[in-house]
Amino acid sequence: MIAAKDARRIKADRRDWINYRVKCPICGEAIGPRNAIREYWDIPPDPPYAALVRCPRGDLVLVEFA
Ligand SMILES: [Zn+2]
């Protein structure tokens, strides 16, 4: 089971996210919607919300949208 508590948290602009301009804070690879493995609607403010992401190199990142 993948747990969000194990993920590094970052905040990102939603437009940057959609356009793959967000970088993984661990390895620097670009991340975006196709890397999301789970989406959250329950983190305020809603929406925008947050996504749990597995970056191309396997790092787990929780992206909170600004
Ligand atoms: Zn990474």
Predicted pLDDT of residue 54: 96
Q: How close is the Cα of 56 to the center of ligand 1, in Å?
A: 6
Predicted pLDDT of residue 4: 74
Q: How close is the Cα of 12 to the center of ligand 1, in Å?
A: 15
- Give the pLDDT confidence of 7-66 residue by residue, as tens digits: 999 999 989 999 999 999 999 999 999 999 988 766 565 565 889 999 999 999 999 987
- pTM for the model stands at 0.82
Q: Quickly list DSSP for 27-62.
A: T--EE-GGGEEEEES-SSSSSS-EEEEE-TTS-EEE
Pair 22, 63: CB distance under 8 Å: yes
Q: How close is the Cα of 58 to the center of ligand 1, in Å?
A: 6
Number of independent structural domains in the chain: 1
Predicted pLDDT of residue 46: 55
User: What residue numbers bound the domain in which 57 lies?
Assistant: 4-65
The Cβ of residue 29 has, within 10 Å, a number of other Cβ atoms equal to: 15
Q: How close is the Cα of 28 to the center of ligand 1, in Å?
A: 6
Tokens at residue 38, please?
């789970």
